[in-house]
Structure 1
C-alpha cells in the first residue's frame, strides 16, 4: 500500500504532456492551451485611435480652435488639419495624421464653429498609438497560453479565426457491475441506479474535457478484457469505476494483469478510496477507481485531476490547498489519512455529517475537502486545517 504523497508523485512522474496539435475555431478554443506562438499579422490598434469622445486638434499657441469637421468610429477619412484646426471625434475613431492631441468634450465649450479649450493640452493625450497593444510581426501570445475569454477576444481582434492548440486527452469512462441499471428503468430488488458515469462525466465537463465516451461492462472476465483492450488502444485516458477489488466477481484487476498493464500503484493508504489503481500501457493512462461514489469522486479530484492537468502541460496541476479555521469537531478512526467532505466559506470550513464512502448527499453540499493527516486523531473547533478547494 502506497502513501498519498508517493501516489501523487507517481501520477506526476508518469503522465507526460500529450503535446499533440489540433486546429480549433477561435470561438471553440476556450480553455485550450496554445500549441505554438502566435504572431500578430496586423498592428493593434491598426491606426491611431481616439481613446475618448472629444475633439482632435492640431496644437497651436492659442486655446481656441476652428471646428472643421467630424470623424465617427468606422470612418476612413484622414483630413489634413492645419495648426489651430479641430474635428469632432468619438471613442474608437481613427485620429487624423495631422492631429496631435484629443481634448475630452468635458473640457471644451463650443460656440458656432469655435472651440474653446480649458488649460494646457499635452501632446498625444487621449490617443492610442498605432500598434499600442502589439505591432505587426511581433509575438502576440506565447505557446502554452491558456485561452481565456480575454485571450480569445484579443486574438479575434487581431483577425484570427482559427488557432493551433494542444489536443485535450480522449477519455473513456467505464462502469462495472451486474447490479447497476440506468436511471429511468424500473428498479427491481437487488438493483441500483448507476450514477458514477454521469457524476464523473460531469466532473470532466466542468473541467472542459468533452472528448468523453461512456461504457458499461458486465461482471464477466472475457467482456472486461475485450472492452478494456479496445479502449486502452484507442484512448489517452481510461477511467474505470468499480471491479478493482479482489472479490470473486471483480474482474478489472485480472483483466488489467492479462493485458500487461504496468501497475504503478494499487491501494493507497487513505480514506476514502483505498482500492485505487493507477497504471500505464503504451499511450494510455489508466485509473481504476473504487466503486463507492464518494470514494470515486474523491480519487478523481486528488489523482485524476492531476493527471489531466499534466497531460495538458499546465503549470498548476493540483487543486489549491489553503489553511482555514475549522467550525467543526471530528474524530478520526484508524490511522489512515482522511479526506473529509466539507463546505468552505470566508476563511473557515465546516466538516459535514455523513462521511461514508458510499454517500453522495454530503458531497453534493460540499465545495471542499479537509485533509486530515495520519498524525491527527481529532480536529477541534478553531483548529487550523488544510482545505482542498474543489473546482465546482
Structure 2
C-alpha cells in the first residue's frame, strides 16, 4: 500500500502521446488547442463607435450640422468637414474624418442642427483599429482550453477550424453478481447498479463524451474477456468493483493475465483504499472500489486529473485550495481522508454519512475536504485543503 502523495507522484510521471485533429469551432469546444494561433485581422477591423450618438468632425463650437447617419454594418464612407456630424450607432464604423463620438444623451437636436452640452476631446467613445488585437499578434497559445469565450473570440477573428488534442475514449466495466439494473424488481440479496451511470455522468460533466459501458458477472473468464474488449476499444478503462481480495473478486487476476503492468495497488486513503492503477502500452486502467462513494472519490481525486492530462490540459494532483472549517472536527484515522463537504461562502462544512457505501451525503456535497491521517483536533476557522467538485 502506498500513500496518497506517492500515488499522486506515480500518476504525475505518466506521459501521453497526444494526438491532434482538425475540427470545426463547434467541435473544438471543451478541447485543448494544439497549435498557436495568430490573428488574421485587426479587431476591431475599423475605428468603431462604442455608443449610440453622433460622430463629430471637431471644431471650436458646440454647434454641428448633421449630414447623415451610419448604422452598424454600413460600408459607405462619409466625408465630414469641420463642424459636421453624422448620427451613429453602437458598433458602426466611425468615419476617418470624425475624431470623436458623443453619446446621444448629451446633445439636443433641432432639424439638422446638433447642439452639444459639453466639450468633447478626440477619440472619446471610439474603439481604435486593432484595440482588442492587432493583425498577426498571437490570439491564443497552444495549450489553451477552448471554452465558450475562446470559441467566440476565434469566430470573431474569422477562424472556422482549428487543431485540437483528441480526448481519450473511456470504457466503464461494472462487475458484480449482486447488481440489478434500475427499473427491474429487486430480489432479496441484490442491489440496484448505480456506479455506471454515476461515473458516466461524472465523465460527461467533465466533457468526456465517448464512453462505453460494459457489465460482467463475477466470473474470471467473462471478466478477462470483457476487460480485453474494453482495453481494445478505449484509451482508458474504469473498472467498478471486483478489485478487493474476496473469493469472487477477479479483476486483479484478469488484469495480470492480460499482462497489464500494475503501477500501484491500494492507497492509504479513506474511502478508496483498494484502488489499482495499471498500464498496458498506451492504455490506462483504473480499477475502482465497488462502493459508490469510494468509487466517485477516486474518480475526482485520481482519475479526472489524469484524463485532463491525457487531453493536453494542465492538471495538478492534490488540492491547491484551502478554506476555513465551519466547525470543530476530530480526526482519528490511520489513513488520509477525503470527506464529503459543502462550501458556503469562505467556509466549508463536513457532512455526516461518510461511509464509503453512502451516496446520500455525496448528493449534497460540492467539495471534498482532505485531512491527513493521525489523531488530532481541527477547530472552527482552521484552514483545510478542499477539492471543489
State whether residues 23 and 162 of structure 1, in contact with CA within 8 Å, keep that contact through their aligned partners in structure 2.
yes
**Structure 1 residue 380 displacement after superposition:** 4.6
2:380 paired residue number: 382
- Partners of 1:258 and 1:127 in 2: CA distance: 70
Aligned to 2:157: 158
Please say if residues 271 and 337 of structure 1, whose CA atoms lie closer than 8 Å, have aligned partners that are also in contact: yes
**Are positions 1:119 and 2:118 aligned together?**
yes
Alignment of 1:87-166 (within 5 A): 87-166=86-165
SS at match of 1:201: helix
Give the alignment's TM-score, normalised by structure 2.
Answer: 0.94
Q: Quote the Cα distance in structure 2 between the aligned partners of 1:17 and 1:188.
A: 45
Give the distance between the partners of 2:43 and 2:359, measured in 1 at CA: 51
Aligned partners of 2:236 and 2:272: how far apart in 1?
A: 19
Aligned to 1:325: 325
For 1:385 and 1:65, how far apart are their aligned partners in 2?
Answer: 64
Alignment pair present for 1:248 and 2:257: no
For these two proteins, the number of residue pairs brought into alignment is 388
Please report how far the alpha carbon of residue 381 of structure 1 lies from its aligned counterpart in structure 2 after TM superposition: 4.4
Deviation at 1:161, TM superposition (A): 2.5
Alignment RMSD, CA only? 1.8
What secondary structure, in the 3-state scheme, does the structure 2 residue paired with 1:219 have?
Answer: coil
CA contact (8 A) 2:323 2:348 kept: no
Higher alpha-carbon deviation: 108-117 or 209-218: 108-117
Structure 2 equivalent of residue 175 of structure 1: 174
Structure 2 Cα separation of the partners of residues 381 and 248 of structure 1: 43
Are the structure 2 counterparts of residues 351 and 41 from structure 1 closer, same or farther at C-alpha, using a change threshold of 3 Å? same
- Pairing 1:41-52 to 2, within 5 Å after superposition: 41-52=40-51
Question: How far off its partner does 1:17 sit?
Answer: 4.1
TM-score for the superposition, normalised by structure 1: 0.94
Q: Does residue 4 of structure 2 align to residue 8 of structure 1?
A: no
Of 358-367 and 380-389, more deviation after overlay is shown by 380-389
SS in 2 for 1:364: coil
Gapped regions of structure 1 (runs ≥ 5): none
In the alignment, is the contact (CA less than 8 A) between 1:18 and 1:312 conserved in 2? no
Distance, in Å, in 1 between the alignment partners of 2:325 and 2:136 is: 52
Q: In the alignment, which residue of structure 2 is the partner of 1:373? A: 372
